Structure 1
Amino acid sequence: MRTLPPAVATAVHVATLARENGLPIPPKVYAVLEAAANPWPAEWLLAPLPGDPIRVVELCAGPGGWSEGIATVLGVTVDSVGVDINADACATARAAGHRRICVDITTLDPEHIALRHVRAVIISPPCPSFSPAGKHTGQEQRNIDILCRVIAQTSEAGGYCLPDDIEYECGERCEYPDVCEEIGYHDGYAPRSGVTWDELRAQLAPLSDARIGLMAELLIWAYGLMAAGAPLEFLAMEQSHRLPQQIIDDIRLELRGGLDSGEWCFADAQVLEASQFGLPSRRERTYFLAARCQRLMGGPKDIPVTTMAQALGWGEGERVNTRGERPIDPKTGRPKGGNEFSADKPSNCLTGKARTWKRVSDGLRLTVQEAGALVGFRRSFRWQGSRTSAFQQAADVVSPVMAAIVLADVLGVLREVRALVLDYETQLYWMDELLDPDDFDTAA
């Protein structure tokens, strides 16, 4: 773990005393903290006080799906900072009250001194390399092998790889524990390999699509934060449902240790489909969760189905045109190419091209707010950027409902998650039907 420079250590001490006594941090002291913590919050240099919310780093954080799921659906308060390279997505998140650092995550140091008290990492790497809508480069064995070779080095690079004979090397039978510590053994782990995080990232250069390499950031940040002294409790990730099993297995293996004996006793991946949890659009994704103790992921599946028409307040029988006028198939009487679907069921999975969707009955185009509602966002959510950018954000984002379901157990609200999701979706999609105008006295 890196030590704080003397001036920063003094500032941390003074600021901590101020916080403990309910006093503001002196401006000159805060300036020292701010400079040392950059680009992270100055307060993150200070240890949390009892009752403070846990600190969470969100990577490839986008417009705020995970953040909305935690805060708005679950009602849990966390001290979170997201990182994303997309300026419009960062602007959208900030408009919703979520903090963002707009930068490439691979340029940041996971062992930054301001990250020593982080408790969780959440990441949503871009999925086009793996998804059916992309070029499938993430399915190519050569790329998988390059990625997995880097994944396999992360625990050793961070100093959290178990030696072959842990009992002999550093266990109770070790006759020279001080010597073991001197050569780098600690807490039963072998010394760090000496490979830096930037050197590991450089090994990903031969990938045919650089976005594939962002999958390794989950473990680069996990072990980098642990090396910085962060008491990590859980990791979460969202990715395409076509994520190769070999990648999932290698991530799990690196966390669990070669003999399935690592500190991360729970590491599980599940493919979840959004419409099974009451959302009015289909969206199949792989969700990965790792934790220090046994956890559950998946949540209730007995939530009523919501159709696209119900979510948007349309009448029955409406159809949606996705690709303009198409030739009519004489056999079916319908346009060729499958460019229409019924709104009386959950909609097709949104992509950036959903900006061209139109209601067949009157030609009205889908709005950005309606697209957001289909993936679980409030109508008041303020999408930033052009129409094209906003629709792409809605297509890529993690649904707040799915974020809530995946994180409910690790955030301590598993028992309440069904009621919380139902309440959120009722307000989002069903409130107009539940409100009877006769219940309100409008005479006054």
Structure 2
Amino acid sequence: MSELTAAQQSVITTALSYKASGAPIPAHLITELDEIAAPWPGRWLLPWEEGEPERVVELCAGPGGWGEGLKTVLGMTRFDVVGVDMDKDACATARAAGHVRICADITRLDPEHPALRCTRGVIISPPCPSFSTAGKRAGLLKANLDILCETIAFVGQAAGLISLSELSCDELHGDFDDECPLCDGNGNDVGFAPRSGHTWNEVRAMLDGLTDARIGLMAEVAIWPLGLQAAGAPIQWMAMEQSSNLPERVLDELSTEFLGAEWFRTSWAVVESADLGVASRRKRVFMIAARHMAAGIAAPSRPLTVTTMAEALGWAEGERVNTRGNRPVDPATGRAKGGNCFSADKPSWCLTGKSRTWVRERDGLRLTPAEAGKLVSFRATYPWQGSRSSQFQQAGDVVCPVVAAYVLALLHGVAWESQVLDYLTGLYHYEDLWDEYDLVA
């Protein structure tokens, strides 16, 4: 854990004196705070006060799906979210839409940074190609799973969040005859064992044997919440998204670590975006964990509404979409091999970066990035940045805002159905509403 120097603490004390007096903090002090807190915002070095937005770290944050779910779909403004992502175009998109982004590798950052000591929530969406059928699925190999799960299982020890009641005398002290506090019958087995002494960089180094480094980002799902807890942050909740192919073994290992750290509840479910009215299909597994809330997640018990691709894009009925060009016809079925066409009178197939090559069969019309965004439930005027390929890749990788809203609403115990329906109505039937939204925003 990095500690502040006396000079750095003096800057914070001076800034707090201005804040207490009601006077604005001078620009030079704000600059100094930002330098001390880097890469995090300097304002996060100041203690959180009642009534201020709750601080949330969003990791592998992408172009803004979770943030749009909170802000635009649910209208929740009680969170101060700072996102981190390596993709410069995704960060540019998020910033253009009003979301805070740090362009960095999350594995190079310390969850115990002094600027994070008032963090209450963590959102994380590790890249899914290592597990998804659209990728090479190296994350499903036993050797890689063994390394990943062993690392996750070690996070609690590194954080000092292994319950004393779960340890034997030998595990805690080694084999010796002296009197052991675990055995004296005075309740001294209540609490956590000492930290292992390993740094987070050393924990991450346990993943070096993976054949695809992206698999190791799943360990960050435990490292960040438990690292924050170890540093004394008032961490309360975590939300995670990943490919629906993520092995249950990994989910079980994560759940075990949170349970051992005395988190109240951990649950997960596979959610299909089309069941929530999104105009495209996308199955993802979502996990939520909470320390002091009885939050749970489940797939919708019934489809909320159905939005077809044609309806979302204003197409006539009967249109079909070609996804892979002219393919050889299978004489047994009379259809192109590889399944390269689908009807636009249903929700679209799951978008990927390759959706940029999809064409409407009748006239060869291609999707625009804005239309791709609408199909995954982004507002029509969302400011996608980067090349055409990059914009489609962002839309293919992102968490659908409507699904993010559903998951976060369940986590925080707030109503979601009417907000989602209102948002979908505006998104797919009253596109001009977003021109007014952008003027206000």
Q: Which residue of 2 aligns with 1:39?
A: 39
2:191 to 181, 188, 191: 188
**Distance change in 2, residues 1:26/1:172 (3 Å):** farther
Aligned residue for 2:221, secondary structure, equals helix
Q: Which residue of 2 aligns with 1:263?
A: 262
Q: Which residue of 2 aligns with 1:440?
A: none
Q: Distance in 2 between matches of 1:95 and 1:172?
A: 61
User: Shift in Å at residue 297 of structure 1?
Assistant: 2.1
Query: Deviations for 1:251-300, whole angstroms, at most 9, x for unmatched residues?
Result: 0011112xxxx421110111111101101111000001000121132475
Q: Which residue of 2 aligns with 1:246?
A: 249
Contact 2:297 2:411 (C-alpha < 8 Å) held by counterparts: no
Aligned residue for 1:408, secondary structure, equals helix
**Aligned positions, number:** 419
Contact 1:275 1:283 (C-alpha < 8 Å) held by counterparts: yes
Contact 1:143 1:207 (C-alpha < 8 Å) held by counterparts: yes
User: Shift in Å at residue 218 of structure 1?
Assistant: 1.3
Q: Distance in 2 between matches of 1:426 and 1:383?
A: 22
Q: Which residue of 2 aligns with 1:229?
A: 232
Question: Match for 1:62: what amino acid?
Answer: G
Q: Which residue of 2 aligns with 1:126?
A: 127
Q: Which residue of 2 aligns with 1:109?
A: 110
1:203 to 192, 206, 212: 206
Aligned residue for 1:267, secondary structure, equals strand
Where structure 2 has 5 or more consecutive residues not aligned to the other structure, the ranges are 169-179, 434-441
Question: Match for 2:191: what amino acid?
Answer: G
TM superposition score normalised by structure 1: 0.90
Contact 1:267 1:291 (C-alpha < 8 Å) held by counterparts: yes
Q: Which residue of 2 aligns with 1:310?
A: 311
Q: Which residue of 1 aligns with 2:26?
A: 26
**Residue 63, structure 1, aligned to residue 66, structure 2:** no
Equivalent positions of 1:43-442 (< 5 A) are 43-77=43-77, 78-164=79-165, 169=181, 174=186, 188-257=191-260, 262-292=261-291, 293-298=293-298, 300=300, 301-413=302-414, 416-431=415-430
Q: Which residue of 2 aligns with 1:442?
A: none
Query: Deviations for 1:327-354, whole angstroms, at most 9, x for unmatched residues?
Result: 3344544433211100000111111110
CA RMSD in angstroms comes to: 2.3
**Distance change in 2, residues 1:404/1:170 (3 Å):** farther
User: Shift in Å at residue 165 of structure 1?
Assistant: 6.0
Question: Match for 1:110: what amino acid?
Answer: P
Aligned residue for 1:410, secondary structure, equals helix
Query: Deviations for 1:304-362, whole angstroms, at most 9, x for unmatched residues?
Result: 10000001111100000111122334454443321110000011111111001111111
User: Shift in Å at residue 190 of structure 1?
Assistant: 1.0
Q: Which residue of 1 aligns with 2:173?
A: none
Percent same amino acid among aligned pairs? 56
**Distance change in 2, residues 1:323/1:302 (3 Å):** closer
Question: Match for 1:221: what amino acid?
Answer: W
Q: Distance in 2 between matches of 1:172 and 1:418?
A: 54
Q: Distance in 2 between matches of 1:202 and 1:165?
A: 26
User: Shift in Å at residue 3 of structure 1?
Assistant: 4.5
**Distance change in 2, residues 1:299/1:331 (3 Å):** closer
Query: Deviations for 1:228-268, whole angstroms, at most 9, x for unmatched residues?
Result: 221111011100000011100000011112xxxx4211101
Where structure 1 has 5 or more consecutive residues not aligned to the other structure, the ranges are 178-184, 435-444
